[in-house]
Structure 1
Amino acid sequence: MTRITVPSEPVSTLSDAWRTCVGTGRFNLALRQDYQDSLALVQRDIGFRHIRGHGLLSDDVGVHRPYDAAGHRGTRYAFTYVDQVVDAYLGLGIKPFLELGFMPSGLASGDETVFWWKGNITPPRDHREWAALVEAVIRHLVDRYGLDEVRTWPIEVWNEPNLVDFWQGADQKEYFRLYECSARAVKDVDASLQVGGPAISPGADAWWEPFADFVTQRDVPVDFLSVHAYTSGPAQHVPFGTYQALRRPQSLLDQFAAPRRILAGTPFEDLPLHVTEFNTSYRPDNPVHDTAYNAAYLAPVLAGGGDHADSFSYWTFCDVFEEENIPTAFFHGGFGMLTHRQVKKPTYHLYSFMARMAADVLARGADHLVTRDAATGRVAVLAWQPVGGSEDPHEPERHELRLSVPVASGSGNAPLTASVHRSVVNETEGNAFAAWQHLGRPASPGVRQLEMLYEAAEPVRSHTALPVTGGRVDLVVTLGRHEVTLLEIDPVRDETPGWLDDARILGRGDRG
């Protein structure tokens, strides 16, 4: 195995596009305690800036309220739940990434719905009334939270209109009409508010040029582009679960890059690009989401995704999520980084490791990312076992990485040693899913079983001291199957008093 010599000077700056936004179950779920506890933990350990999900305008949020009684007829807009959710978000240090959808039943032109919770997917029966609803919502948010604040909240029009599951007939012309109506309503509140779309799913690249042509010809506002990315194939259904093949991780990066490639040479090439959903599987009942494989698979995506997009939003932060009905088991293949009751999955640790990386990138490769904190000299190495998707099933039990890492000397004498703190997650360590399997896959773990799962979910941590030679530390990192590991390397300033002798701790040796 060739040793990689990590440069002493930064080669680039680490993009934080990986934590600009995170996905969530529908808007109404944020009223639940389990949801808010999960988001508080995520914000403590990772710290996302925005959060996006469906259902802002669906009936269970109760914004659009037509009335016809006692000689009075009209529409009232109610923000009882909107305010509670947004207050909770801001209190946890995260901003909304607003998605305009789905259609309130009192405004819908039909009764077609999606998901167990029945989000209406039909166009409005009256586009003027839809525009009034959008304007009322945005104006309320500006009045309550201030224009300067709401200017920092992107506003996305609808979700995956290229799919019949999410937009009646996947009618492109009707979506463009909805987009224009919505974008103009947003700008009627304030021209500086950010609005964009078309929030299309993977495989819908044929929508990009017509969308660009439409907004250009009609001079429709568009401040950013949005798209989704997944790498799974057709679903193989079993009771309460799904299996799917996965393409290579590079497929996600290729999907991130596609909009700008397709729109190269147009004004849209330079617009901010937000991947407002991504994951391996697009199913909320695929057990791959619970595995260490998922974390190893996504590691190079987090390390390199910022080269192609301004944000890429993991779908989702927790398993409080009900698109396919209420989950029937504790681990059920949910999208979340966290299970119900905040048991951490391996992918959670991938994100928490990324949160401990620094800004200055010293090296990046197929199995590693190395950064250094300019202020402290701390070097952080994120390493992972490369995986290749379903078509490349051969993954060895071990993967070795050899690095020569520079250690900063600071203003004093050069350090003689460096402290190396390591955190490990793989198929057997830091893996609550594996522990749950060993417990017999209890659908509703008891109190003692939950305690065991919390303990099993924590990364296995170790520390050592290594010699510094010529301003460098040589690392030999052996990774287990599907491992993601974080090594934090700090120069040591030895402050041991001369009279201390650890060999005498048990009272042996010189007693003079």
Structure 2
Amino acid sequence: MRHICFSAFGRLLLTVAASLPLVARAQPAPTAITVDVAKPLGPMPPVWAYFGYDEPNYTYMPDGQKLLTELAALSPVPVYVRAHNLLTTGDGTAALKWGSTNAYTEDQKGRPVYDWTIVDRIFDAYVKRGMKPIAQIGFMPEAFSTHPVPYRHHWKPGDNYNDIYTGWAYPPKDYQKWSELVYQWVQHSVARYGAAEVKTWRWELWNEPNIGYWKGTPEEYNELYDYTEAAVHRALPAASLGGPETTGPGWDKAAAYLRGFLTHCVSGKNYATGRTGTRLDYISFHAKGAPKVVDGHVRMNMGTQFGDIEEGFKIVASFPTLRQLPIIIGENDPEGCAACGVQTNPENAYRNGTMYSSYTAAAYARLYELASQYKVNLEGAVSWSFEFENQPWFAGFRDLATNGVDKPVLNVFRMLGMMRGPRVAVASPTALSVADIRAQAQSQRADIGALAAADAHSATVLVWNYHNDALPAPPAEVALTLQGLATAKAQVQHYRIDNEHSNAYTAWQALGSPQQVSAAQRTSLGQAGQLAQLTAPASVSLQNGQTTLHFTLPRHGVSLLRLSW
């Protein structure tokens, strides 16, 4: 009888004991991230403070001006802005993938007519906000083009993308006249804004000459660069001019184009002077990811983008006399068509919500690691994202705001703008390496990582929970330990981007996704689009310069924790 009772009681104990590990297994161990403020890794230049767009005439429209003001405000340093079509012929009417300034025409006798009215309006909008142009010298004015007809395209989403490459993409009839146009533009800029201001700008030649944007040969691009360089530095010897803004160094032909241009600058015969080599002040190329729809959901591909970056860095590093020149990744994005919305490109559905913001945090944070690995001088990485006028609400364009309301991704740049001081050491076992990312590991498991910086009186940590697949998943429990802080007490501010915070998209959906938005709704959405704190600021005590902060981070959420003392 005792045996029977003991056996029954034993089975009960075993049942209870067996249930305990199940409960424990249902609550996974927190993701442990350690930041050592006492271990600086080197400077953390504001590579994120660069933005660009195809349609320059949006610059001075109401929503464009509002967004420029916000971009200028989020950064402690001047923000650089890059736009296409600054020399394109036309009446200034904006359209998707199009813009014009009518800067150059010719009279009936073929004499130059320069008109800087629209160019000045664009650059005035930048300069008065303390922003800096990346002044793109392009595209070809109609009067110069070797194939001017057709000149104006009327592309719309769903059309063949190659339809945009019309008469503005061809070489000039006369390289000397082209050179004089460039000289007149730089000289006019110096007269209007002053040499001290203009020498802080970046000038560049063209956009993506290795694809349809340039209908000439690589050698004709090199020739155009030589004549452009001579003109820019004749007008302002201290000006900074770069190129070639090629795209996709991860492609063999694109890599050859970039390498060929750099070789020309180092040792080629200069078309304008006949001497050897051409002055190059910085180097630029583009890097793009490759999202697609898999089993009914979006799957991103950051690995393709990092492949472009790594190959570009390798190419630059292979030139001993160029490897320390500044590098600007002229477009640094998850894919290649900002003006292609979700109606025609369902793979772009990532753009409205937090997937775009978490991707951006994870991608930009790794740029410092890659630049350090290849020992190159990365200065900037342009997010090709601005705003589109007179388009539906949340149409799925790659933009920072829709109808004047900020999207979640803009708040990542606000977070980055709050980080101060050099980059410091981070240990995160759940963060993937760049090699992992290139091997598509972000499609197998979450990438939960951090970027940290510190100065004498603050420490900031950017934390993301990213995955390549747009699928629901449990949140991550994070235990963030900061050590090496020279204080016994600090104030903690916790900023968050997720479905409930810093997210005008989910707020708009909660309203029923209206396309007709009332004034009160617009105000509410505008407030929802601002960077929000997860909790009220709080004071924490540190033991031996160390503290651990615990929080839950949803899939595709981003947190910025700021400790100040």
Match for residue 310 of structure 1?
379
Q: C-alpha separation between the residues in 1 aligned to 2:104 and 2:337? A: 30
Match for residue 466 of structure 1?
540
Amino acid at match of 1:319: E
What pairs with 1:18-57 in structure 2 (closer than 5 Å)?
Answer: 18-46=47-75, 48-57=78-87
Check conservation: 1:427, 1:482, Cα contact below 8 A. Answer: no
User: Does 2:256 align with 1:206?
Assistant: yes
Tell me: CA distance 1:403–1:40, structure 2 relative to 1, closer, same or farther (3 Å): same
Amino acid at match of 2:556: H
What pairs with 1:128-139 in structure 2 (closer than 5 Å)?
Answer: 128-139=176-187
Deviations 1:297-348 (A, max 9, x none): 12122223134222101112x3136xxxx63x1111222222221x121111
Q: C-alpha separation between the residues in 1 aligned to 2:195 and 2:262? A: 28
Check conservation: 1:55, 1:101, Cα contact below 8 A. Answer: yes
User: Does 2:560 align with 1:486?
Assistant: yes
Deviations 1:100-157 (A, max 9, x none): 1111112212135586487721211222211111111111112222223222212111
Match for residue 499 of structure 1?
none
User: Does 2:201 align with 1:167?
Assistant: no
Q: C-alpha separation between the residues in 1 aligned to 2:552 and 2:133? A: 41
Check conservation: 1:49, 1:94, Cα contact below 8 A. Answer: yes
Deviations 1:451-498 (A, max 9, x none): 23223323253123434333322111210121001112234xxxxxxx
Amino acid at match of 2:51: V
Q: C-alpha separation between the residues in 1 aligned to 2:131 and 2:41? A: 27
Match for residue 344 of structure 2?
none
Check conservation: 1:197, 1:225, Cα contact below 8 A. Answer: yes
Q: Any idea what SS the aligned residue of 1:31 has?
A: coil
Give the counterpart of 1:11 among 21, 34, 40: 40
Q: C-alpha separation between the residues in 1 aligned to 2:261 and 2:357? A: 34
Match for residue 312 of structure 2?
259
Q: C-alpha separation between the residues in 1 aligned to 2:235 and 2:292? A: 43
Match for residue 323 of structure 2?
269
Identity value in percent: 25
Tell me: CA distance 1:401–1:252, structure 2 relative to 1, closer, same or farther (3 Å): farther
Deviations 1:232-275 (A, max 9, x none): 25799xxxxxx975313x54344223223124342232322111
Tell me: CA distance 1:260–1:5, structure 2 relative to 1, closer, same or farther (3 Å): closer
Match for residue 217 of structure 1?
268
Give the counterpart of 1:420 among 488, 492, 501: 492
Shift of 1:8: 4.2
Q: C-alpha separation between the residues in 1 aligned to 2:153 and 2:508? A: 28
Amino acid at match of 2:363: V
Tell me: CA distance 1:138–1:409, structure 2 relative to 1, closer, same or farther (3 Å): closer
Check conservation: 1:10, 1:360, Cα contact below 8 A. Answer: no
Tell me: CA distance 1:477–1:363, structure 2 relative to 1, closer, same or farther (3 Å): farther
Match for residue 225 of structure 2?
179
Match for residue 501 of structure 1?
none
Q: C-alpha separation between the residues in 2 aligned to 1:114 and 1:482? A: 41
Q: C-alpha separation between the residues in 2 aligned to 1:234 and 1:405? A: 38
Q: Any idea what SS the aligned residue of 2:393 has?
A: coil
Work out the number of aligned pairs and report it: 462
Shift of 1:383: 0.9
Shift of 1:444: 3.8
Runs of 5+ unmatched residues, structure 1: 237-242, 492-512
Q: C-alpha separation between the residues in 1 aligned to 2:363 and 2:35? A: 21
Give the counterpart of 2:412 among 339, 347, 350: 350
Shift of 1:350: 0.7
Check conservation: 1:246, 1:281, Cα contact below 8 A. Answer: no
Q: C-alpha separation between the residues in 1 aligned to 2:154 and 2:368? A: 34
What pairs with 1:15-414 in structure 2 (closer than 5 Å)?
Answer: 15-46=44-75, 48-59=78-89, 60-68=100-108, 74-110=111-147, 111-112=149-150, 116=154, 120-164=168-212, 166-168=213-215, 171-202=217-248, 203=251, 204-215=254-265, 216-218=267-269, 219-232=277-290, 245-248=299-302, 250-266=303-319, 267-284=321-338, 285=341, 286-307=348-369, 308=371, 309-316=378-385, 318-320=386-388, 327=391, 329-341=392-404, 343-364=405-426, 365=428, 366=431, 367-374=449-456, 376=457, 378-387=458-467, 389-390=468-469, 396-406=473-483, 408-409=485-486, 414=488
Q: TM-score with structure 1 length normalisation?
A: 0.83
Q: C-alpha separation between the residues in 1 aligned to 2:453 and 2:328? A: 25
Check conservation: 1:25, 1:320, Cα contact below 8 A. Answer: no
Amino acid at match of 1:276: G
Q: C-alpha separation between the residues in 1 aligned to 2:485 and 2:533? A: 27
Shift of 1:98: 0.7
Tell me: CA distance 1:133–1:244, structure 2 relative to 1, closer, same or farther (3 Å): farther
User: Does 2:551 align with 1:477?
Assistant: yes
Q: C-alpha separation between the residues in 2 aligned to 1:205 and 1:270? A: 19
Q: C-alpha separation between the residues in 2 aligned to 1:296 and 1:232? A: 16
Amino acid at match of 1:145: Y
Shift of 1:420: 2.1
